[in-house]
Amino acid sequence: MAEFVESASLKEARAYEEHMEQFISNDERPCFHLSPRVGWMNDPNGFSYYGGAYHLFYQYNPYATEWAPMHWGHAVSQDLLSWEFLPCALAPDAPYDDLGGCFSGSAVELPDGRHLLMYTGVAADGHNEDGSTKERQSQCLAVGDGTNYQKYEGNPVIDGATLPVGSSTVHFRDPKVWREQDGSYRVVMANLGPDNSGQIVQYRSDDGFSWQFDGVVARNAGRYGIMWECPDLFELDGKDVLLVSPQDMLPQGHDFYSGNGTLCIVGALDKATGELVEESAVTIDHGIDFYATQTLLAPDGRRIMVAWMQNWDSTTGISPAQRWFGQMTLPRELSVRDGHLYQWPVREIEGLRTNEVCYQDVKLDGEPIALEGIQGRVADLLVHVRPADEQNPYDEFVMWFAQDERFHCSLRYRPAHGTLKMSRIHSGSRRAFVHHRKLDVEGAPLELSLRLVLDKYSVEVFVNGGRQAATMIVPTEPSADGISFFSRGGAVVDVKKYDLVEPAEAAAR
């Protein structure tokens, strides 16, 4: 493997981000969600535990708050909440492989202690019939020490010629690599199959460098959108779990929505065919801004997921004018119970809690109420609502947050329909894209528990212990910190609120 040589493009990106960083104050960044060092961020990449720290790379254009040929930004953390930026890890600088961008990928540690990144190189490949440039996507490697990564001289290591006949070589991306117990490697990738619908292909390797096609793990067959992006495949609580992000979806009830969505398939891998036998398929997050999940296996055995807290169809105009755009979700611990994926904020966030304020058995009926001490925009809020009278349940429970005289966001639950509606219609956005979403709460229970994690420009909602989740960006100024409650028909609510402090402040306590 050649020594690390910093290309002109990488050098330029590193110098640029280092210079620009001084113009972005910490105050304007989220408190504990990762945002890009400068410029644009999309998918999480290379999420891994390496050299005693969590590494989170991201799709990155340092030069503007819009997408352009992708670099990989890089940050590290001890607690998954407080992130320290490292120099840009990859730039699109390899003429044959990736001048069109270093697209999404993942990371694994090699037995000799080096960190292996696998990413999709996008390159020009002749012309389409209409004269436009044809793209080729293939999988490339870079090896490094946790800071500097040298692209492998043998790139690309997997190209489209190895795919099943009729599969697209243009849509072949987002490798998620892992090491098996026996020391061999597997990688799954997203691909557009011969039926013009997404398929997830798997390759295997003994050393991480030389790869053979292994089979098709899952096929969309026209069910959930068209192409599937960003696959992740892992075993959890006795089940095999596939996460993908479908493009161009059509809605199905309140389960899936138009555009870019996410999908969790729980099942069992058939040992003979290598195919995933599906038992259930659900949206991972029912909110508005959630895409491109990636997980890691933490040293303590937790399966932890992050996603891009954004959606391609609402990438303009949602946040205030800033020199950065895009955030990652809070890392979430995953589990499978009764064949169903559960998500819960990483337990590290409990270390940021302060100022507990607690109310029990607050009666609601017909008048909006605010509770002394229950407010905040960087907060962890636990809410449990139930009918005042089981025989005569409430029609509707509403909770407003990020609220001032003019603006608010809301969550509205109607037990008779079992629907929970998340809305930012009155959050101050002047753009006409999706501002509300509904989800069907499983079983339409009369009692509902909600956990809201608020961080300046976002809310992540966990329903009934994490059985469902819904995430959205909140564009309202953080000074709008009101929270209030309402019910039509008698309801009783318990509320517990903690403020969340900056991770650095928590560490100093």
Strand partners, 473: 458
Q: Is 293 in the site for ligand FRU (CB under 6 A)?
A: no
Asked if 292 is part of the footprint of ligand FRU (rule: CB under 6 A), the reply reads yes
In whole angstroms, what is the distance from residue 53 CA to residue 51 CA?
6
Contact 304, 296 (CB under 8 A): yes
Q: Does 103 bind ligand FRU (CB under 6 A)?
A: yes
Contact between 42 and ligand FRU per CB under 6 A = yes
Q: With binding defined as CB under 6 A, does residue 224 bind ligand FRU?
A: no
Min CB(393)–ligand FRU separation in Å: 42
Binding mask 157-196 for ligand FRU (x = CB under 6 A): ----------------xx----------------------
Cβ(364)–Cβ(485) under 8 Å? yes
Q: How many CB atoms lie within 10 A of CB 256?
A: 21
Are 377 and 430 within 8 A, CB to CB?
A: no
Rounded CA-CA distance 474/454 in Å is 9
Could you check whether the bond before residue 156 is cis, i.e. omega within 30 degrees of 0? yes
Our finding on whether 120 is near ligand FRU (CB under 6 A) is yes
Closer to ligand FRU by Cβ: residue 58 or 342: 58
If one asks whether residue 343 binds ligand FRU (CB under 6 A), the answer comes out as no
CB 127 → ligand FRU: shortest distance, Å?
22
Residue 43, interface with ligand FRU (CB under 6 A)? Answer: yes
Q: Are the beta carbons of 177 and 220 closer than 8 angstroms?
A: no
Half-sphere exposure of 243 (CA within 13 A, CB side): 28
* Number of residues near ligand FRU (by CB under 6 A): 13
In the block, residue with structure tokens 């990371």: 107
Question: How far apart are the C-alpha atoms of 385 and 466, rounded to whole Å?
Answer: 16
Q: Indicate which single residue of 31, 70, 91, 474 sits in contact with ligand FRU (rule: CB under 6 A).
A: 70
Sole binder of ligand FRU in the list 104, 167, 293, 310 (CB under 6 A): 104
- Should residue 229 be labelled a site residue for ligand FRU when binding is judged by CB under 6 A? yes
At 236, list the tokens: 């959890």
289 lies in the site for ligand FRU, by CB under 6 A: no
State the pairing for strand pair 84-90/101-109.
unpaired
Structural Rg of the chain based on CA atoms: 23
Q: Does 33 bind ligand FRU (CB under 6 A)?
A: no
Residue from 27, 43, 93, 112 carrying the catalytic annotation: 43
**Residue 71 sits in the site that holds ligand FRU (CB under 6 A):** no
Q: Which is nearer to ligand FRU, 259 or 478 (CB)?
A: 259
Check binding of 59 to ligand FRU (CB under 6 A).
yes
Q: Give yes or no: 237 in active site.
A: no
Measured from the CB atom, is 311 or 429 closer to ligand FRU? 311
| Cβ 257 to ligand FRU shortest distance, Å | 16
Beta bridge partners of 369: 485
Contact between 285 and ligand FRU by CB under 6 A: the answer reads no
* SS3 call for 81: coil
Are the C-beta atoms of residues 174 and 190 closer than 8 Å to each other? yes
Tokens representing residue 6 in the block: 């910093």
Active site residues: 43
- Residues of the shown chain interacting with ligand FRU in the complex, contacts defined by CB under 6 A: 42-43, 59, 70, 103-104, 120, 173-174, 229-230, 291-292
